[in-house]
Chain A
């Protein structure tokens, strides 16, 4: 018979908060959290008090008043009589546009440069090394300004296209490269199925979607045949036809035509204008971030052990297929996470747009609107909110993609 009794159950005593290791860390965390909260409250309260003392208050009332200024690149309808909110929206779309374009080109550039840097060709690999080292070691603002300055100084002004014997002429009489931007022909439909141009273009997009579905079916069919017979049927012509046929048909039915840019008055009129500021910003962000992505790609490829390449080669795969089928799919797992932060960098770096007069959100809401209304705190808070939201959305999207390609462990 055991007479051992349970150890005496001691109740919770306040001194245990410090002396008991089970509670100690919790205690300090709670204290730290309270101190942090107090500090933030103090700063916020201080701000509000001082604003109040200066007779200012936080108000977003200015948002519905007319902005009163014009913006040169607008993706949605906007005039100087539109509201400040509308001007901010124009800025948001411009930011997203340049960020989107730059992400794509930077990725393409980065992957090419990263793969080429590992090339066995001495000249090619050294050239890529020079590219990477030069572009990532000079601040992007300087690249933006250099590219913009070179563009405006070297390309001809619209005035040079004038006269009997002009100093400059249009490429194929339809493309004009000027120091204000590039003018290209604008496609439009002469006998569209719908009255509105947007609906007609939607139809074209739907056609392309259909083509994509058909090509997928062809691919599945080819795989099934391959599994059944061991031979993969040639599908190249079918795929080509699936892409081209609906497109050509739609274009013929709706009567595709081109509006050519023409020199009228001070500027080229008609066609599509890709503004100089957009080009400079887009190009600068792409080559700058491309250099960083190239290094990510190189790191990803070098993380795959050489044995993989050798094993694939032993199976009889050629160089290109080894890269596409064996190395890159595995390397992507290493490449994607740092790639996300490069995409975020592009989005945030696009706020340097005002250096070249590109009307992004920092230039409209954080620039002219802030200046005209004097509502600095309100505008800057909104800017922070926008960049935070955009960055979180991009990183959420990329994380989903990352999850889909990462090693599936069973």
Chain B
């Protein structure tokens, strides 16, 4: 009796593991909930607010996908992952999509069998030092002690940068963001390094942000974007085009303010195709005709999401920079909705 239960459980476990590779889109619809892997807490990108609701720049992408697929932006289960657990969580099917400041690299895309569906933030690794040190360039950091949050490409970039400039340093790899900040603030490290956006977010939480400066060197390319499991292109397409819809909406001037008006029909065919009043893009991707309208109704277009969570008027205070539309000299450029 006990044995049969045991084997029954084993069989179920085996089947579940086998089924995870099949259609994620159908799984999400059947579950009526999107499992979204995210950061354990990085203000501006993904952190619970005072009411315990997750919000941030990465969170907005998850909510948009949930709205596009399920029609409700609250049907998301946020799974906080660390630098170590994120890939296992995605590969095992625990989460459907990972949006966690994850850098798109060759080996992650190819060797780890994931698909990066796009870039929602073009970042680069930077350095933060206390102003009183009087350092103005990362090349002056010979012999410095550097705090790093471990388990990221950060360590590799750092090693490469110091080797290329033939200067020495002492790494202090720290498991969590909070612990690393404490080390930096108490002076146990001279420098704190991570993605420039993360540095700005971290600095915003300090008692006296003006006592710390970000050095001008950006030592790496860090295209951060959402990723899904390799081999499920339908699901990959859904996430990719939801992100593209957010970006294209900004380019086409569709905002949360004029969304209802635009949905009634415009004389710009591209907007009509995006919002589902012309053609049948929704059907092609396996969603309802107004999928993009639902995605946009959550937090508006890419520009609005950026401004609300990490833009210049927030404590994070990031400029658009590389993350401006291509028409404004940035890198955001979506393929046409056609």
Query: Which residues of A approach B to under 8 Å, CB–CB?
Result: 35, 39, 42-43, 46, 49-50, 53-56, 68-72, 80-81, 145, 149, 152-153, 157, 159-160, 179-180, 264-267, 269, 276-277, 354-355, 357, 359, 363, 367-368, 370-374, 376
Q: A68-B160, A269-B143 are in contact. Are A354 and B169 (CB under 8 A)?
A: no
Q: Separation in Å of the B191 CB from the closest CB of chain A?
A: 9
**By the criterion CB–CB under 8 Å, are B143 and A357 in contact?**
no
Interface string of B198-221 (1 = CB under 8 A from A): 000000000000000000000000
- What 8 A-B pairs have minimum CB-CB distances, sorted nearest first? A157-B187, A80-B159, A265-B143, A374-B112, A69-B155, A266-B144, A152-B188, A371-B151
Known A145-B179, A264-B143, A359-B173; 8 more pairs at CB < 8 Å: A46-B17, A71-B171, A72-B172, A179-B188, A266-B143, A269-B143, A277-B172, A372-B153
Give A302 to B155 CA distance when docked, in angstroms. 53
Give A365 to B88 CA distance when docked, in angstroms. 16
List 16 A-B pairs, Cβ < 8 Å. Answer: A46-B17, A68-B160, A70-B158, A72-B173, A80-B160, A153-B186, A179-B186, A180-B188, A265-B142, A266-B142, A267-B145, A357-B183, A363-B173, A368-B151, A371-B150, A372-B107
Give A39 to B8 CA distance when docked, in angstroms. 12
**By the criterion CB–CB under 8 Å, are B170 and A371 in contact?**
no
For A69, give the chain B residue with the smallest CB separation. B155
How many cross-chain pairs have Cβ atoms below 8 Å apart between A and B?
125
How many B residues face the partner with a CB closer than 8 A?
52
Chain B neighbourhood of A56, CB < 8 A: 113
**By the criterion CB–CB under 8 Å, are B107 and A374 in contact?**
yes
**By the criterion CB–CB under 8 Å, are A374 and B10 in contact?**
no
**By the criterion CB–CB under 8 Å, are A267 and B143 in contact?**
yes
B174 at interface (Cβ–Cβ under 8 A)? yes
**By the criterion CB–CB under 8 Å, are B112 and A372 in contact?**
no
Give A61 to B163 CA distance when docked, in angstroms. 25
**By the criterion CB–CB under 8 Å, are B112 and A370 in contact?**
no
Give A76 to B306 CA distance when docked, in angstroms. 47
For B186, give the chain A residue with the smallest CB separation. A152
B111 at interface (Cβ–Cβ under 8 A)? yes
B3 at interface (Cβ–Cβ under 8 A)? yes
For B142, give the chain A residue with the smallest CB separation. A265
Chain B neighbourhood of A69, CB < 8 A: 155-156, 158-159, 171
Q: A50-B17, A53-B18, A354-B150 are in contact. Are A368 and B173 (CB under 8 A)?
A: yes
Give the residues from 39 to 92 in chain B that come closer than 8 angstroms, CB to CB, to chain A.
83-84, 87-88, 91
> Out of A39, A50, A266, A373, which one reaches B145, CB within 8 Å?
A266
**By the criterion CB–CB under 8 Å, are B17 and A157 in contact?**
no
**By the criterion CB–CB under 8 Å, are A50 and B186 in contact?**
no
For B105, give the chain A residue with the smallest CB separation. A372
Give A43 to B153 CA distance when docked, in angstroms. 33
Q: A55-B113, A152-B186 are in contact. Are A368 and B143 (CB under 8 A)?
A: no
**By the criterion CB–CB under 8 Å, are A42 and B84 in contact?**
no
**By the criterion CB–CB under 8 Å, are B172 and A371 in contact?**
no
